[in-house]
């Protein structure tokens, strides 16, 4: 019983967001292999999760280049680091401004970013905290602007 609990604790959940999963991202999901044999990674769509499951997410990955910046608000509020497509200028700018995640140009780069963020927990947690602070700062402004604006 203890070993199965330990294995479950090593699982990392990556939440994918967008109306679809771009072909390059789907390819990355198939190719991704965790660094440790004892750990697993689960890729799930945001709408599959109940609200109480969302905070246990390791990474929020926007897999649809056409997604709006609003799709990441829940992740920022929950303190979850982002991985976004560079072709989405609003999301790329958000990651640069808030230091809350990484952006990628193609599938190969997405795979490297995914591996890096899942391996480097301290950096991922710092980015997540930055995103949360950014979200809070927006909420505290008199006329709160939309995320990514």
pLDDT for 35-94, tens place per residue? 555 567 889 898 888 888 888 899 999 998 888 888 899 999 999 999 999 999 999 999
pTM score > 0.85 for this model?
no
Q: At what angle do helices 89-98 and 121-140 cross, to 10 degrees?
A: 100
pLDDT tens readout for residues 99-124:
999 999 999 999 999 999 999 999 99
Q: What are phi and psi of 44, to 5 degrees?
A: -135, 155
Residue 4: pLDDT band by 50, 70, 90 thresholds?
very low
DSSP E strand stretches across 26-96 = 41-45, 59-62, 82-85
């Amino acid at each position: 019983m203890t070993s199965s609990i330990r294995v479950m604790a090593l699982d990392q959940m990556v939440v994918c967001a967008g109306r679809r999963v771009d072909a390059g991202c789907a390819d990355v999901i198939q190719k991704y292999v965790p660094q440790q044999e004892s750990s697993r990674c689960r890729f799930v769509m945001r709408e599959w999760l109940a609200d109480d499951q969302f905070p246990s997410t390791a990474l929020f990955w926007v897999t649809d280049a056409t997604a709006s910046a609003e799709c990441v608000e829940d992740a920022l509020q929950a303190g979850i680091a982002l991985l976004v497509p560079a072709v989405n200028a609003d999301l790329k700018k958000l990651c640069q401004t808030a230091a809350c995640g990484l952006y990628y140009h193609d599938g190969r780069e997405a795979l490297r970013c995914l591996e890096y963020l899942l391996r480097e927990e301290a950096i991922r947690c710092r980015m997540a905290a930055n995103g949360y602070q950014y979200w809070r700062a927006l909420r505290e402004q008199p006329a709160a602007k939309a995320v990514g604006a």
